[in-house]
Amino acid sequence: MSLTRKGFLKLSAGGALAAHALDATPAAGAPSDVDPLRPADHWGARIVQEAPRRLNILILGGTGFIGPFQVRSALDRGHSVTLFNRGSGRNMFPYLETLVGDRNGDYSSLSGRRWDVVIDNATNNRRWIELATEALTDSVDQFMFVSSRSAYADVSRVPMTADAPTWTFETADVPRDQERLPYGLGKAEMERIVQQMMPGRTTILRPGLIIGPGDETDRFTYWPVRIDRGGEVLAPGDGTDPVQIIDVRDFTDFTVKLAEDATMGEFNCVGPHTPRPMAELLYGIRAVTSAETSFTWVPREFLAEHGIRPYAEMPVWRPPVEGNEGFARFDLTPEVEAGLTFRSLADTASATLEYHYSRPLERQQNFRSGLSAEREVEVLAAWHARSG
C-alpha cells in the first residue's frame, strides 16, 4: 500500500527522507549525503490543509533533487504516493510503495495499475518519454512532465509567456536523425511526445533555475555562502538586471496543486511575479546574515574581458542583452491564477545556508559554481586598477 500523510508524519519522526541532487536544468550535481527534508518540516515550518480530494500519484524516479520535495508536498496534502525506479526508492523511502523497473524498457510493474496523475521528472531522454507514455496510456488521467525554460527557442519577448515558440529541429538546425539533442531542443521534443501520446491530459511545467535546500549544483547557493563569508563581493552588472528563479518547495507545491485541480496546459515556473533586480537579490540575501559585506558592481563588458560569464562564474545572473531580453521577464499571471505562490527570499536564503552548512566540510569547500576566492580577488583588483 502507498503511504498517506499520517503514516509519513509518524515515520519521518524516526527516519527522514534522503535526497540526492538532480536539477531540472542541464547541470546536475552529484549525490549528497545530507538530507534536505529532515525532519519533515525542518526547512520552513508550515501548516498545510489536506486537499479536498485524495489523489493516487505516481512519481517516475522521485529520488533526485525535486522528487523528495514532491513526495513531501503530496503527503502533506493527504495524497497517496507510489514511486517507480530501479529500486533506490526502497532505500530512500522504505515506507512508500516502490515499483521496480527500468526506464530503458521494463515497465511491467506498472501493468494493471491506475493512478490519477503521474509526475515525470525525466531529464533529456526522448526514449524514456516514449516508453513511459506508451506504458501509462490507459493508466493515468493526467501526465505531468517537468520540462524547462530552456525549451523556448526565443527569449527575446517582453514579457515572456507560455505561448512563446519552443525549439524545433529546424530552428535549432539539428538533423532529425541526431541521437543526442541539445538540452532545450530535447525538452521541447519530449513535450511534443507527451502531448501527442496523451492529448488533453498533459500538464507541462517549465521551471527556470530551481534552487533551495538540497540543490547540489550550487548555482544559487554560491551567493548566500559568498555573502555570508563577508568582505568585498564582486557583483555583476549595475544591479538592475532582472532575476526570476524558483524555490524547489514552491515548484513542487505548485506541481501538486495543478494535480489536485486537474489543470492541463503549459506553465512557466519562475519567480517572483515581478522580476527581482540583481541588487535586490544580493541585498536581500545579505539581510539574513550577520556578515560585514560590501558589493562592488562591475560592468558586464569588463567581466566579459576577464572571462567571467553569466550563469557560470556569476551564477543566477543573465543580463537582458539582445536575444535574452525576456529571460527573466515572464508574465506569470496565468500561473499565479492557477496556484503558484512564492515564499520569501529570506526563507530561501536561510534554508539554503542551513543546508549548505550541514554538508560535509569537504563538500562545503568545493563549490561547483561561481568564482573561487582567489579569482574574485584578481578580478576585483583589475577593476579597481581600471576604475582608479
pLDDT band at 20 (very low <50, low <70, confident <90, very high): very low
Tell me the residue type at 152: Y
Is 90 exceeded by the pLDDT of residue 29? no
Complete edge-to-edge strand list for the sheet that includes strand 265-269? 97-100, 80-85, 56-60, 115-120, 140-146, 202-207, 265-269
Is 90 exceeded by the pLDDT of residue 34? no
Residue 326 is predicted with a pLDDT of 98
Higher pLDDT, 375 or 6: 375
What are the backbone dihedrals phi and psi of residue 377, each rounded to the nearest 5 degrees, phi first? -60, -45
Whole-Å CA distances, 127 to 175, 190, 200: 17, 9, 21
Q: Which three cell numbers stand for residue 111?
A: 501493468
Please report, rounded to a whole number, the percentage of residues in the chain having pLDDT higher than 90.
81
Q: Do residues 125 and 296 make contact, with C-beta atoms less than 8 angstroms apart?
A: no
d(CA 146, CA 139): 19
pLDDT band at 21 (very low <50, low <70, confident <90, very high): very low
Residue 90 is predicted with a pLDDT of 80
Closest CA to 216 of 72, 93, 360: 360
| 98-125: pLDDT as tens digits | 999 999 999 999 999 999 999 999 878 8
d(CA 308, CA 224): 19
Residue 44 is predicted with a pLDDT of 55
- What totals of helices (H) and strands (E) does the chain contain, helices first? 14, 12
Residues in the chain: 388
Q: Tell the burial category of 327 from Cβ atoms under 10 Å away from its Cβ (0-12, 13-18, 19+).
A: buried
Which of 84-93, 233-242, 273-282 shows the lowest mean pLDDT across its residues?
84-93
Is 70 exceeded by the pLDDT of residue 9? no
* CA dihedral sign of residues 123, 128, 130, 133: negative
Higher pLDDT, 28 or 236: 236
pLDDT band at 22 (very low <50, low <70, confident <90, very high): very low
Residue 91 is predicted with a pLDDT of 81
Domains parsed from the chain with CATH numbers = 5-387 (3.40.50.720)
The mean per-residue pLDDT over the stretch 335-342 comes to: 98
Terminal C-alpha separation, the chain: 69
pLDDT band at 2 (very low <50, low <70, confident <90, very high): very low
pLDDT band at 38 (very low <50, low <70, confident <90, very high): very low
The mean per-residue pLDDT over the stretch 219-224 comes to: 98
Q: Do residues 363 and 32 make contact, with C-beta atoms less than 8 angstroms apart?
A: yes
| 132-187: pLDDT as tens digits | 999 999 999 999 999 999 999 999 999 999 999 999 999 999 999 998 999 999 99
Residue 42 is predicted with a pLDDT of 53
pLDDT band at 43 (very low <50, low <70, confident <90, very high): low
Higher pLDDT, 201 or 88: 201
Q: Which helix (H) or strand (E) holds 231?
A: strand 231-236
Q: Which three cell numbers stand for residue 220?
A: 544559487
What are the backbone dihedrals phi and psi of residue 243, each rounded to the nearest 5 degrees, phi first? -135, 135
